[in-house]
């Protein structure tokens, strides 16, 4: 091979090395794109800022992101994903792709949308780390549970749906027991269904809304009149306060007062956190339902009105 040919080969080889190195550099930049996830101050959505971590291996990245949870965002319209009142006690990572974050009991001070957004932002932070597929929350050494006392379990970033300009929702499946009317309208029939919903909805609200929507089966019949709206449903000290609009008073023909009332009561007391139900109409107590049924007291589970299978 003469010198001219040798020089050409060397030039081509060097060009190949440069291209290869350039490609690796571009790939590295793409792989190192990280974000820190926060919550907007209106508590409506998860937001993010670009972030370049110092650490490179998994354990160091976990430690760095834990430290970052306590740092204020650059954008003043954002707030930290983890409030200062919530303490992360420790974590467990065994190399199998699952990270367990163990919080102190102060975590239970978070409720509703604030809790879901906090969980979403934290999970999104850690699931960026290549070796982490799942994040699970523990509180005081026990798995975090939802309002129905079911463990939340392992979560991924994909569990949380981002809606531009809207709120971040957490997809969950819940098995609930609903009570609808039988064909005669004199007894209740239990219906067990699995509902997919977002974690921002309290379980008591979900149950009542499913009752309003009516049964899926042709052998069960609605108990709540068309046009009924749930104004509010709250639980306090074992009592669920259910506030309907006035349409709830327009009883369905052929349905007894007991069936209409205990359709709601028996469905709600299936929740371990509810023992009694009190009804309101547009924020006010009503003394009578239908023609003569006392309606302003507390209602407990009534199995006598439930149809028994032979």
Q: In this structure, what token pair is assigned to residue 277?
A: 């139900």
User: Could you read off the pLDDT of 54-98 as tens digits, one per residue?
Assistant: 999 999 999 999 999 999 999 999 999 999 999 999 999 988 899
Confidence of residue 8 (pLDDT cuts 50, 70, 90): very low
Residue spans of the domains in the chain: they are: 36-167, 173-294
Percent of the chain with pLDDT over 70: 83
Is residue 154 a contact partner of residue 127, using CB atoms and an 8 Å limit? no
Q: What is the pLDDT of residue 3?
A: 42
The tens digit of pLDDT for each residue in 91-133 reads 999 888 999 999 999 999 998 888 989 999 999 999 999 999 9
Question: In this model, does residue 139 exceed pLDDT 80?
Answer: yes
Q: What is the mean pLDDT of residues 197-220?
A: 86
- 216, exposed or middle or buried, with CB in 10 Å at 0-12, 13-18, 19+? exposed
The confidence band for 135, taking pLDDT boundaries of 50, 70 and 90, is: very high
Q: Report the candidate in 168, 188, 187 with the shortest Cα–Cα distance to residue 178.
A: 188
Of 125, 30, 129, nearest in space to 73 by CA: 125
Whether 183 contacts 221, CB under 8 Å? yes
Q: Is there a contact between 80 and 117 (Cβ–Cβ < 8 Å)?
A: no
**What DSSP designation does 70 have?**
T
Euclidean distance between the first and final Cα of the chain, in Å?
98
Looking at the DSSP assignment, which residues form a beta bridge with residue 103?
88, 139
Lowest average pLDDT, out of 20-24, 87-91, 256-260, 264-268, goes to 20-24
Q: What is the pTM of this model?
A: 0.53
- The SS3 of residue 154 is coil
Cβ atoms of residues 137 and 103 within 8 Å: yes
In DSSP terms, which residues pair with 241 in a beta bridge?
234, 278
* pLDDT of 149 above 60: yes
């Amino acid at each position: 091979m003469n010198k001219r040919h040798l020089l050409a080969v060397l030039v081509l080889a060097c060009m190949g090395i440069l291209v290869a190195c350039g490609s690796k550099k571009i790939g590295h930049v793409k792989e190192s794109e990280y974000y820190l996830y926060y919550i907007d101050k209106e508590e409506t959505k998860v937001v993010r800022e670009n972030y370049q971590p110092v650490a490179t291996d998994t354990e160091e990245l976990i430690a760095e992101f834990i430290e970052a949870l306590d740092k204020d965002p650059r954008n003043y319209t954002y707030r930290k994903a983890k409030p200062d009142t919530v303490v992360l006690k420790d974590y467990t990572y065994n190399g199998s792709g699952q990270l367990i974050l163990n919080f102190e009991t102060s975590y239970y001070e978070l409720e509703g949308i604030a809790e879901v957004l906090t969980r979403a932002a934290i999970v999104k932070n850690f699931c960026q780390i290549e070796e982490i597929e799942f994040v699970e929350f523990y509180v005081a050494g026990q798995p975090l549970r939802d309002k129905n006392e079911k463990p939340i379990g392992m979560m991924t970033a994909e569990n949380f749906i981002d809606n531009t300009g809207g709120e971040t929702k957490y997809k969950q499946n819940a098995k609930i027991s609903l009570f609808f009317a039988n064909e005669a309208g004199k007894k209740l029939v239990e219906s067990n269904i699995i509902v997919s919903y977002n974690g921002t909805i309290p379980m008591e609200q979900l149950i009542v809304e499913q009752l309003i929507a009516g049964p899926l089966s042709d052998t069960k019949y609605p108990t709540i009149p068309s046009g009924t709206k749930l104004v509010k449903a709250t639980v306090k000290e074992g009592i669920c306060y259910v506030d309907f609009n006035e349409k709830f008073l327009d009883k369905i023909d052929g349905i007894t007062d007991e069936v209409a009332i205990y359709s709601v009561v028996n469905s709600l007391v299936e929740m371990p956190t509810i023992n009694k139900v009190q009804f309101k109409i547009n924020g006010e107590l009503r003394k009578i339902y239908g023609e003569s049924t006392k309606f302003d007291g507390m209602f407990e589970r009534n199995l006598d009105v439930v149809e028994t299978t032979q």
